[in-house]
Structure 1
Amino acid sequence: MSSEIIQSIVVSVSAATASLCALAGLVTWRRETRWKDDREIARMVIRGTIAVREAFKHVRNPVGNYYGPAPIDDDCPPDRLRYQQLVHEYENRWKVMRDAFKDLEEAVVEAEVLWGKDIAELMTEVRLRRFDLQWAIEKYTDQEKPNGRQLEDEEYRQVFGVMYFTRNDHFANEIDKALDSVADIAKPRLLGPKWNEWY
């Protein structure tokens, strides 16, 4: 064989090897980029579930007026004043829930794009718990209206059990279960791919 042929073969093999190395590098880079996207969205989802859990606690806290007096007229009757103050309190508490939910919903939409619809379907339970709390607050505040319909004992216990922390807080357990199911989809994605998925 002439030296030109050997040189040509060596150059061809070197070019093929360089191409394979470049391709392997691109594949690894693509997987790493995908993992970084997964990880960032997983962090957003987990951060969102924690914020929503804290928002539920904030809204359900039975103690205190965090937001000061409601804006009222000077000639407001006392029963109307109590109702307006209660509505003012829960409207302000609900803003915390609304903001936390907005962030979680955005994270779940991003996650659904990458991971599929399972995470979006699990959010249904979280939304139902939010609806249950909103329903209980509306029932309670409606009874506080001047001339509002008073809740029956059983209905009041049901509303109270959803609105506030209780000793055996079944509603908090339902909230935790719903939020944990969403977070559980995201947690494995924080760890990154298994070693054998890289190659």
Structure 2
Amino acid sequence: MMEGISEAISALGQFLMAGAAIAGAVAAFMGLDRWKNQTVWQGDRDLARKLLVSLYLRKNAVKAVRNPFGFEGEGGPIAADTPEDEKNWKATLKKYQFRLGKLEEVKSEIFALEAEAKAIWGNEIEEFSRQVWNREHELAVEIYEYINAQHPRYRGSDYFEDKEARKSNSLQVFGGSSQDPFWPKYDAACINLETYLRTKLGRKQ
């Protein structure tokens, strides 16, 4: 009788030990899974934070491009042999080359981050990013038109079809009024991208 009880206790002990081992393995697996999820979440968060900071720098660079004011020599000195009637135009050209160059520096950093984000998160970020890039391209075209219109060859004539076209170009390039046709659309595109990135931070705006 005692022998049977002893065997039963021994079997129960082995069963409990086996159960404890299984429970420990499950707990370890769940802990590893939580660690993996935490690592993925932290990686997403860090990448999203970098992209958000870059987006703010990008918007500031666009604001700088559109600033109607400048300073003498912005963009660097003009060549000494520049014809007198081209000096103002050259100064305008170099000013916008300098400003757009600063914007491109920011965008080149963003391009690398977005390539990483696309590889991890999929193509969704590209949809939001393209909206911002398209608006910036539209601005660059308007600036190109504005610079061309300043060239001495158009003195005494009008590069644009009419005064309304000139005014529209000026508003696109400089803004600065309630009639600004560029900034509300650009800002909306940036907000769409920002809202998407905030979902990767673990919280929405």
TM over 0.5, shorter chain: yes
The code of the aligned residue for 1:6 comes to: L
C-alpha distance in 2, partners of 1:5/1:132? 79
Matched, 1:167 2:177: yes
1:68 deviation in Å?
3.6
Answer with 30-39 or 44-53: which moved more: 44-53
SS in 2 for 1:190: coil
Matched, 1:106 2:112: yes
Give the match for residue 88 of structure 2.
82
Instruction: Give the conservation status (yes or no) of the 8 Å contact 2:75–2:97.
Output: no
1:35 deviation in Å?
0.5
C-alpha distance in 2, partners of 1:135/1:71? 25
1:66 deviation in Å?
6.9
Answer with 17-26 or 41-50: which moved more: 41-50
Give the match for residue 195 of structure 1.
none
Matched, 1:35 2:13: no
Instruction: Give the conservation status (yes or no) of the 8 Å contact 1:111–1:119.
Output: yes
Look at both structures and tell me which one has the larger radius of gyration over its CA atoms. Answer: 2
Matched, 1:154 2:160: no
TM-score, normalization: structure 2?
Answer: 0.85
Answer with 20-29 or 5-14: which moved more: 5-14
Tell me how many residue pairs correspond in the alignment. Answer: 193
Consecutive unaligned residues of structure 2, counting only runs of 5 or more, are none
Matched, 1:93 2:102: no
Query: What's the RMSD between the two structures over aligned residues?
Result: 2.1
Percent identity of equivalent pairs: 22
Give the match for residue 197 of structure 1.
none
Give the match for residue 23 of structure 1.
29
Give the match for residue 176 of structure 1.
187
C-alpha distance in 1, partners of 2:82/2:114? 45
TM-score, normalization: structure 1?
Answer: 0.88
For residues 60-107 of structure 1, give each alpha carbon's deviation from its aligned partner in whole angstroms, at most 9, with x where no partner exists.
Answer: 000112754743343432221111111111111012210122222222
C-alpha distance in 1, partners of 2:50/2:104? 16
Matched, 1:5 2:11: yes
- Return closer, same or farther for 1:129/1:66 CA change in 2, 3 Å cut-off: farther
C-alpha distance in 2, partners of 1:165/1:143? 18
C-alpha distance in 2, partners of 1:22/1:29? 10
Instruction: Give the conservation status (yes or no) of the 8 Å contact 2:58–2:103.
Output: yes
C-alpha distance in 1, partners of 2:92/2:34? 57
State how 1:107-146 maps to structure 2 within 5 Å.
107-146=113-152
C-alpha distance in 1, partners of 2:150/2:187? 30
The code of the aligned residue for 2:69 comes to: V
1:140 deviation in Å?
1.0
C-alpha distance in 2, partners of 1:79/1:116? 53
For residues 123-177 of structure 1, give each alpha carbon's deviation from its aligned partner in whole angstroms, at most 9, with x where no partner exists.
Answer: 1211111111111111111122231462231221121111102211231111110
